[in-house]
């Protein structure tokens, strides 16, 4: 009996299996090659940058180092390598804790200056530079808020002879001076406006902090206060990526935790990793938390979940310990 037809019938599925195994091996090998070629440094790093690199085989070591330094100066894309193994139901605001420093060194008297409600605070401890810059009349304050009605902290800093600029895009006039403070029809954002839209509107109501500093001719801001109604996470990301934090002495920020925030994608663990990464980058930039305030009137909500003994919003104040 001729067995050729049976052999051909068996050979077909076997050949298909071999081809599939070959494709799997090629895919695994390619993934391994890409992994080994990546600039993988520390799996515990919360925030890491990935940039395309094209290095020719005949390039000298000095040329490679110069190219890498140039790439680091280019705006980076954020990706997160931290793995959060807990499920979303285990997410809690305690993940956002940072090391806190005292704003009351030995011999210091009244080292914090707060607003009427005690929510916003600046550190006047002599071990940091703000009080010395106030005495030299070199203090500059930026206050960003959407229709803010409590300016008690800003007024206190004006009385200390600080140069105070308040930004509110809802103002009718582009610039005005009131109560010895400057008011500007402008707000901070994590991106600059589209040039085409600016040409149509003839003015832009939002800009990146780096652009505002450049437009105003200011190199540094001693105090940056911002209540941006859930845009703060993307704005903070922009300050980190563009290296603007080095131009800020103290950062006062209201953070909102009841939802992810504007243009922050991902599931709940991914959102917490994103927040945590930004806070870790603040620490790496020599910022230390010295004041925390939660409003008891705010809902006890964290990422759309009711959480006992928590708040949907916190006012946080950091001091740049390397500020001169």
Q: What is the CATH number of the domain that holds 260?
A: 3.40.50
User: For the chain, how many structural domains are there in total?
Assistant: 2
Domain assignment present for 165: yes
**The pLDDT value given to residue 152:** 93
Q: Which one of 72, 99, 116 terminates a domain?
A: 72
79 in a structural domain: no
Query: What pLDDT is recorded for position 61?
Result: 53
Instruction: State pTM to two decimals.
Output: 0.70
Q: What's residue 194's pLDDT?
A: 73
End-to-end CA distance of the chain: 96
Residue 115 belongs to a domain: yes
pLDDT of 11 reads 57
The residue assigned the tokens 């703000």 is 130
Do 31 and 171 sit in the same domain of this protein?
A: no
Same domain, 129 and 66: no
Pair 99, 67 in one domain: no
**Residue 137 domain boundaries:** 88-320
Residues 57 and 163 both lie in one domain: no
Ordered per-residue pLDDT tens for the chain, 324 residues: 454 555 555 555 555 655 565 554 444 444 434 333 443 343 333 333 333 333 334 444 554 555 454 444 433 434 442 333 343 445 555 555 566 788 876 555 558 999 989 999 999 999 899 999 999 999 999 999 866 678 999 999 999 999 999 998 888 889 999 989 999 999 999 998 876 655 555 556 899 999 999 999 999 999 999 999 899 999 999 999 999 999 999 999 999 999 999 999 999 999 999 999 999 999 999 999 999 999 888 999 999 999 988 899 999 999 999 987
């Amino acid at each position: 009996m001729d067995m050729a037809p049976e052999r051909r019938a068996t050979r077909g599925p076997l050949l298909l299996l071999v081809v599939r195994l070959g494709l799997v091996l090629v895919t695994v090998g390619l993934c391994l090659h890409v992994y080994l070629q990546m600039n993988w440094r520390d799996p515990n790093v919360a925030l890491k940058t990935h940039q395309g690199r094209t290095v020719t085989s005949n390039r000298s070591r000095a040329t490679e180092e110069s190219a890498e330094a140039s790439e680091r100066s280019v705006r980076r894309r954020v990706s997160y390598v931290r793995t959060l193994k807990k499920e979303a139901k285990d997410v809690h605001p305690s993940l956002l804790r940072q090391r806190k420093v005292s704003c009351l060194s030995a011999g210091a008297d009244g080292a914090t200056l707060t607003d009427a409600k005690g929510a916003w605070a600046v550190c006047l401890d002599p071990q940091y530079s703000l009080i010395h810059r106030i005495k030299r009349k070199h203090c500059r304050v930026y206050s960003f808020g959407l229709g803010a009605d409590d300016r008690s902290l800003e007024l206190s800093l004006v009385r200390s002879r600080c140069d105070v600029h308040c930004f509110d895009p809802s103002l009718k006039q582009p610039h005005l001076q009131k109560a010895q403070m400057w008011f500007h029809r402008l707000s901070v954002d994590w991106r600059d406006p589209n040039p085409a839209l600016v040409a149509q509107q003839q003015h832009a109501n939002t800009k990146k902090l780096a652009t505002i500093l450049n437009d105003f001719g200011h190199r540094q801001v001693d105090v940056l206060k911002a209540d941006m109604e859930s845009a703060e996470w993307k704005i903070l990301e922009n300050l980190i990526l563009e290296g603007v934090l080095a131009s800020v002495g103290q950062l006062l920020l209201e953070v909102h935790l009841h939802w992810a925030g504007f243009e922050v994608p991902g599931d709940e663990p991914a959102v917490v990793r994103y927040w945590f990464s930004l806070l870790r980058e603040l620490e790496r930039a020599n910022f230390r938390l010295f004041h925390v305030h939660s409003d008891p009137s705010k809902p006890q909500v964290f990422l759309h979940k009711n959480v006992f003994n928590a708040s949907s919003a916190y006012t946080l104040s950091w001091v740049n310990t390397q500020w001169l």
